[in-house]
Amino acid sequence: MAKDFTWQGKSEEEIKKLDLKSFMELTGARTRRSLKRGFTPAQKIFIKKVENNDHDLKTHCRDLVIIPVMVGKTLKVYNGKDYQQILITGEMLGHYLGEFAHTRKAVSHSAAGIGATRSSKAISAR
């Protein structure tokens, strides 16, 4: 039996119906402060596009708080090199878009180069 999703005691349908003011009351202090200050002009334009159900939504606004209007949408967030596609779920509410589009890759080292260790000095470079 699958567990039904709830966020702060509300189901996904109830969350989607929330307005911004009542959503702010359910979030933490940092998110509430960010939302209380208001959105930048670029963020306002992007939110309007999300509300209008536009397709292929791309943004550079990594500091935008994920609000109930965005739940269920697929957005592309710029990570400094290209756009990463992100499906917004209910668990992401109150977080920032940039948290889900990582800017750095995991380090993967290969074998040591010639001269990097004492034993590799004996190997010819040809």
What does 17-82 look like in DSSP terms, one character per residue? Answer: H--HHHHHHHS-HHHHHHHHH---HHHHHHHHHHHTT-SSEEE--TTPBP-GGGTT-EEEEE-SSS
Does 118 reside within a domain?
Answer: no
Does 121 reside within a domain?
Answer: no
- Number of compact structural domains in the chain: 1
Give the tens place of pLDDT for each residue, 14-70. 888 888 999 899 899 999 999 999 999 999 999 999 999 888 899 999 999 999 999
CA–CA dist 59, 77 (Å, integer): 5
Does 109 reside within a domain?
Answer: no
Give the tens place of pLDDT for each residue, 66-121. 999 998 899 999 999 999 999 998 889 999 999 999 999 888 888 777 777 776 66
Provide the whole-model pTM: 0.80
Does 87 reside within a domain?
Answer: yes
Q: Which domain holds residue 65?
A: 9-102
CA–CA dist 80, 48 (Å, integer): 24
CA–CA dist 53, 9 (Å, integer): 27
- Find the CATH number of the domain harbouring 62: 3.30.860.10
Does 58 reside within a domain?
Answer: yes
